């Protein structure tokens, strides 16, 4: 277990470092430096102002110094400064991140529940028609753009039926609908993977043994099959954190909620490169940590994983 832990944590740190390096290199590939891009985006600015701002943000230093300075900053929790406001990235988002985290977090949990409910209903129902409908629901939802689903629901609920206000007013519906819209879209790949691995589990002999023992269908599903089939779905849940972030930004825009979405949109439209860079690193770190947690939960669910660790990498192809 200790080796598995060390391996996974080391891998996570490596990935964050590589992500940082790649983003840094990508910024170097820009036609000019971030300050010049930002200041000359809409109007002509004299060179002196550009130089002053460049030295304030450290863009006048040699590349290696910039790289190390920013790396030390990220390691100590400083993700850089916004060019527009001069605030640090964390300060810039601290006021609004809460509502995004609440939206994304609830949608994450609801999406997991939705996937389990759909798969449970599809597996346990005795109606062939219902099963067909349920089985085809996740592939359909996977093709639905989240902003379109939000707009159609907004049209129906607030304009046609008038049960919900167009703008967030703190009512239960105005909190629940965005969460449900985001969760529905995020749950689609989860349900697809869970359904697939559930089918594989139901082909295994131990299910027949349980049936022969007289276990009820729901007992077999919830006590035995679900735990066996949950592994791949758990991995996909870790990966959906990225989709969740994109979905949150879009959902917030559709439902006029305040949150990270508006920060992201402003940063992109004003070409505030350091702010976008900081947001990317922050999100990538969250993503890596969530996936690390998933990896560490995995052996609890399936102890076999510890034994099959360290499969050989492919050797070179030669005659």
By CB under 8 A, the residues from 56 to 115 that bind another protein are none
Q: Write down the least CB distance from residue 40 to another protein, Å.
A: 12
Strand partners, 88: 81
- Say whether residue 199 binds another protein (CB under 8 A): yes
Q: Pick the closer one to another protein by CB: 147 or 222.
A: 147
Cβ neighbors of 223 (< 8 A, separation 6 or more) are 215
Q: Write down the least CB distance from residue 278 to another protein, Å.
A: 11
Q: Using CB under 8 A, which of 13, 63, 65, 140 touches another protein?
A: 140
Q: Pick the closer one to another protein by CB: 162 or 214.
A: 162
Cα–Cα distance between 20 and 285 in angstroms, integer?
Answer: 10
Q: Are 154 and 233 in contact (CB under 8 A)?
A: no
Cα–Cα distance between 213 and 200 in angstroms, integer?
Answer: 21
- Say whether residue 184 binds another protein (CB under 8 A): no
Q: Using CB under 8 A, which of 10, 86, 95, 139 touches another protein?
A: 139
- Say whether residue 234 binds another protein (CB under 8 A): no
Question: Two tokens at 261?
Answer: 């979405």
Cβ neighbors of 226 (< 8 A, separation 6 or more) are 116, 120, 198
The DSSP secondary structure of 89-138, one letter per residue, reads HHHHHHHHHHHHHHHHHHHHHHHHHHHHHHHHHHHH---HHHHHHHHHHH
Number of residues this chain uses to bind another protein (CB under 8 A): 76
**Cβ burial, residue 168 (10 Å; 0-12/13-18/19+):** middle
Phi, psi of 296 (to 5 degrees): -80, -25
Three-state DSSP class for 318? coil
Q: Write down the least CB distance from residue 156 to another protein, Å.
A: 9
Map the footprint of another protein across residues 24-63, applying CB under 8 A.
26-27, 30, 37
Cα–Cα distance between 68 and 63 in angstroms, integer?
Answer: 9
Q: Which span sits near another protein by CB under 8 A: 83-91, 95-103, 223-231, 263-271?
A: 263-271
Q: Which span sits near another protein by CB under 8 A: 94-102, 217-225, 242-250, 299-307?
A: 242-250
- Say whether residue 177 binds another protein (CB under 8 A): no
Q: Pick the closer one to another protein by CB: 159 or 209.
A: 159
Q: Which span sits near another protein by CB under 8 A: 54-62, 84-92, 108-116, 275-283?
A: 275-283
Q: Pick the closer one to another protein by CB: 48 or 312.
A: 312
Q: Write down the least CB distance from residue 303 to another protein, Å.
A: 22
Q: Write down the least CB distance from residue 212 to another protein, Å.
A: 19
Q: Pick the closer one to another protein by CB: 16 or 176.
A: 16
Q: Pick the closer one to another protein by CB: 300 or 316.
A: 316
Cα–Cα distance between 29 and 192 in angstroms, integer?
Answer: 39
Q: Write down the least CB distance from residue 170 to another protein, Å.
A: 21
**Nearest CA among 98, 107, 68 for reference residue 244:** 107
Q: Write down the least CB distance from residue 145 to another protein, Å.
A: 5
**Cβ burial, residue 202 (10 Å; 0-12/13-18/19+):** middle
Q: Write down the least CB distance from residue 288 to another protein, Å.
A: 5
Q: Pick the closer one to another protein by CB: 214 or 275.
A: 275
């Amino acid at each position: 277990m200790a080796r598995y832990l060390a391996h996974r944590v080391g891998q996570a740190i490596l990935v964050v470092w590589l992500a940082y390096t790649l983003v840094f290199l990508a910024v170097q590939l820009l036609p000019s430096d971030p300050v010049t891009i930002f200041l000359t985006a809409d109007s002509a600015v004299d060179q002196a102002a550009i130089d002053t701002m460049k030295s304030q943000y450290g863009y006048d230093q040699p590349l290696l110094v910039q790289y190390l300075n920013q790396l030390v900053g990220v390691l100590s929790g400083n993700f850089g400064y916004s060019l527009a406001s001069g605030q640090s990235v964390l300060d810039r988002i601290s006021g609004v991140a809460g509502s995004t985290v609440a939206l994304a977090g609830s949608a994450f949990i609801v999406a997991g529940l939705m996937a389990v409910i759909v798969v449970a209903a599809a597996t346990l129902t005795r109606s062939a028609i219902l099963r067909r409908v349920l089985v085809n629901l996740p592939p359909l939802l996977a093709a639905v753009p989240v902003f379109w689903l939000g707009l159609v629901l907004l049209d129906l609920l607030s304009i046609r039926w008038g049960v919900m206000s167009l703008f967030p007013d703190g009512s239960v519906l105005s909190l629940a609908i965005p969460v449900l819209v985001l969760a529905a879209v995020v749950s689609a790949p989860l349900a697809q993977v869970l359904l697939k691995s559930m089918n594989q589990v139901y082909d295994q002999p131990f299910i027949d043994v349980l049936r022969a023992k007289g276990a009820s269908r729901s007992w077999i599903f919830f006590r035995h099959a679900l735990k066996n089939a949950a592994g791949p779905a758990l991995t996909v849940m870790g990966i959906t954190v990225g989709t969740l972030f994109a979905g949150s930004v879009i959902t917030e825009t559709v439902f006029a909620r305040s949150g990270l979405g508006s920060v992201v949109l402003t940063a992109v439209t004003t070409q505030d490169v350091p702010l976008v860079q900081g947001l990317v690193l922050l999100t990538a770190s969250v993503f890596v940590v969530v996936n690390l947690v998933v990896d560490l939960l995995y052996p609890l669910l399936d102890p076999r994983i510890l034994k099959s660790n360290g499969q050989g990498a492919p050797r070179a192809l030669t005659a």
